[in-house]
Structure 1
Amino acid sequence: MSDAMREHFVNILKKWRLELVSDMSRTVEHMQDDAANFPDPADRATQEEEFSLELRTRDRERKLIKKIDDTLQLIADNEYGWCDSCGVEIGIRRLEARPTATLCIDCKTLAEIKEKQTGL
């Protein structure tokens, strides 16, 4: 992978990370601003469910930020773009679709098949 391509992915990842961090900050502000003690139990339950959903979403985003940070480190170490399973180069189209990908499309497909088989 060329230096220009690595820089391209660094820019994508940093922008994505910035958006996620910004969303997380807005969630905290929203939850602090909208936290109310509704007298109606149904309204309270609705608010608690909404907050719970937001927190689950933010937890997934927190994990994604960790993956982004790991990927940025791979780029810095010049190890980005190689499949963790078979060692073949991950295609640019796959990396464009999923910049944090660590498996080539073939290995990812096999992993998903195995996951489905063991999950039944």
Structure 2
Amino acid sequence: MATAFNSGSDKSGPNRSIEDAPSGAGYKAEPGEEFMNERQQAYFRQKLLAWKDSILKESRDTLAQLQTDTMREPDITDRASSETDWSIELRTRDRQRKLISKIEAAVRRIDEGEYGYCEVTGEPISLARLEARPIATMTVEAQERHERNEKVSREE
């Protein structure tokens, strides 16, 4: 198996749990640490589930706001503006609904032991990429190749 490269020194030592990491702190691999070991899997599972919970909370807040607000502005311009704002908000929620399915798929990949490996090449996806985009399914190189091929087929 591949080992994760150390992207910085972890001054807190190997006994520090993932849950003890300060909010916003990225995963720091120990020297020689095996790629996608239990500690890394636990970290990314927690990160994905927290992201999902945040999206669901925002959705509940939007729904509550929709139920309490009425679209009865007397001025037609104000009403149009409100409707446009809500339309944008609902489109955002729809994109986030789709994101939730990607988050759930990533958690399933963790459960199946496939998380962190490129679905095209089978190579490990860098921890930095997973930190930035935890739902990533391809290495940067495979993603770029995929996007180039997509662009070429659209132009034809």
TM-score bracket, shorter-length normalisation: over 0.9
> Which residue of 71, 90, 96 maps to 1:55?
90
Instruction: Name 2:141's counterpart in structure 1.
Output: 106
Query: Match of 1:38?
Result: 73
C-alpha displacement at 1:31, in angstroms? 1.4
After superposition, give the CA deviation of every residue in 1:15-50 in whole Å (9 maximum; x if it has no partner): 101100000000111112222312221111111101
Q: CA deviation at 1:119?
A: 3.7
After superposition, residues 1-120 of structure 1 pair within 5 angstroms as 1-120=36-155
2:131 and 2:71 map into 1 onto residues whose CA distance is: 42
**Percent identity for Structure 1 against Structure 2:** 38
- Divergent runs of 4+, >6 A: none
Q: 2: CA distance between counterparts of 1:61 and 1:35?
A: 24
TM-score of the two chains, using structure 1 as the length reference: 0.93
Q: Which has the higher helix share?
A: 1
Letter of the 1:104 counterpart: T
Shift of 1:115: 2.8
**Residue matched to 2:28:** none
In angstroms, what is the RMSD of aligned CA positions? Answer: 1.2
TM-score by length of 2: 0.73
Deviations 1:57-89 (A, max 9, x none): 000100111100110011011111111111111
Between Structure 1 and Structure 2, how many residues are aligned?
120
